[in-house]
A and B are shown apart, each in its own frame.
Chain A
Amino acid sequence: MNQDKYPGIYAAMGEMEKRRYERFPMGEMEKRRYENFPMNEMEMRRFENNPMNEMEMRRHERLPLDEMDVRRRKRVPAGSEMRRREYNPMGEAGIRYENTNIGCIDREQVIEDPRLAHAYVPIQKLCSTFTPMTALRKGTIFPGLVNVYGWESKQFGGEYL
């Protein structure tokens, strides 16, 4: 241990830290990292209140905080190309079956403050429907219920969506 080389660090240590440091002194790389990126005041306080343990550190490195956001964005959003293709400017029988509210988002409810291991079902809004004859063939009037998993188009040779 080179107390003379790092007197500031050593002086800032508490009694327990000094003892631990004497048993497990910093390696050369740790010292350099600490000198280049010392914690500021807020980081020090946050770390002291909620220090990461070893498992949290590893998990954080493998799955950074925005990982779930990225995965969610990759899923097909409402109003995507797949659904826009069902847009029908004039429905059959003189009835307007298409979305009369352009820009309608069928999943507009934002779930705030979700809790761990709780199930949440957002309220959906009716934006567009199939025409009656198409609905009869597909078994539903709701475009969102067709080809949910993306395999129907292969099985029926592109007949569905």
Chain B
Amino acid sequence: MNRDELLRKLSALDFYAIDLHLYLNTHPDDRDALSKYNAVVAEAQELRREYESMYGLLNAYTTASKYPWQWIENPWPWQYQFNFTLAGDDDNVVVR
């Protein structure tokens, strides 16, 4: 899986978790939604670990870095090279 594809899937899972998090704030007793949220968060953590092991840090504050300090080597999120494009995406992209 290349970097863009990995980042796109991770973004999708993070977005899903954020929207479900908002729903759970008003529906804390919804077991089905909570199980989906837990599954998505676990999946996102797995992908994040995979991404950071291959392509560098996604967050400078929560992840340990190998020597030398990796954050400055990475294209930062506000840089064009860092981001992927959603144009041309279809719904059949498999997350895993």
Mark A residues whose CB is within 8 Å of B: 92-97, 100-101, 125-126, 129, 131-137, 140-142
Contact = CB atoms under 8 A, between A and B. Distances in A.
B19 A133 contact: no
Contact of A92 (B11, B23, B96): B96
B91 interface: yes
A137 B27 CA distance: 25
Contacts of B95: 92-93, 131-133
A42 B14 CA distance: 66
Interface of A is mostly: loop
Among A133, A136, A137, A142, the one with the most B-chain Cβ atoms within 10 Å of its Cβ is: A133
A135 B33 contact: no
B71 to A, nearest CB: 25
Q: Is the interface of B mostly helix, strand, loop or mixed?
A: helix
Interface of B: 8-9, 11-13, 15-16, 19-20, 23, 27, 30, 32-33, 36, 39-40, 43, 86, 89, 91, 93-96
A137 B39 contact: no
A129 B36 contact: yes
A97 B36 contact: yes
B12 A136 contact: yes
A132 B39 contact: no
A100 B39 CA distance: 15
A60 B95 CA distance: 58
Given A94-B96, A95-B43, A135 B15 contact: yes
Given A95-B36, A95-B39, A132 B16 contact: yes
A133 B94 CA distance: 9
Given A92-B96, A95-B39, A132 B30 contact: no
